[in-house]
Amino acid sequence: MDNAIDLLETVEQETGPSPQWSVIWLHGLGADGHDFAPLVPELVREGWPSLRFVFPHAPVRAVTINNGVRMRAWYDIVGMDFPTRADSEGVDQSVLQTGALIDREHARGIEPQRILLAGFSQGGAIALTAGLRRKTPLGGLIALSTYLPGAEAAAESLKASLSEGAATQPVFMAHGAADPVIPLVHAERSAQLLQSFGFAVEWHRYPMAHQVCAEEIAALGDWMARRFAHA
């Protein structure tokens, strides 16, 4: 199999028998699939359908802005200029690998409309990019402390390349007002662009840095509950 679509190793949790929904959650730079697994008990609510959480490990690669140190990363970060900082080849590869995980969930009996694609920071950037490229819409996109790579530099071409139905995917975005890693303005611009493309974006801002907080998880739970209720 081509390296671009090798199936990534994952950490999985199921909240009940015969999962009816899947949540694929992509971690941030330098972390791994275990990073967000402890949030599952905090997030999941009584009465929800059975869920399968899939937390993949990103490939290990050299990261330019970290002096070439090798770490788990969804793409290389080649500089500090946001419109051009994300290595497009790495983004493309990670989108393909994420697509392979989505296909596996479909093969395990979960329809795409019952798959939520989530990510934090770098993982969120891949979640948004993968969602925009979907030909078969997912149940929703969750983007925490992140932005849409390349969107500010190529908004028109990105909009023109959207598949029919892509904008039907609801989006949850949340960000810290004091985020020193991805300044708030870039997340806000990404949310505004997605809205201009026709996406329904639920936007939240919190008094925090590059992290998650309890209020954010509660708001995400509310958003997910609405997805399950409308399925």
- Catalytically active residues are 121, 179, 210
Helices and strands (H and E) in the chain: how many? 6, 9
H helix runs in the chain, sequence order:
40-43, 88-107, 122-133, 155-160, 184-196, 214-230
Q: In angstroms, how far apart are the furthest CA atoms of the chain? A: 47
Residues 36-57, buried b or exposed e (16+ Cβ, 10 A)? Answer: bbebbeebbeeebeebbbbbbb
Q: Which of 96, 93, 135, 143 is nearest to 117 (CA)?
A: 143
End-to-end CA distance of the chain: 35
Non-local CB neighbours of 13 within 8 Å, separated by 6+ positions: 37, 40, 52, 53, 55
Which whole-number Å values give the CA distances from 105 to 29, 47, 90, 132, 138, in the listed order?
A: 24, 22, 23, 19, 12
Q: Which of 97, 115, 5 is nearest to 56 (CA)?
A: 97
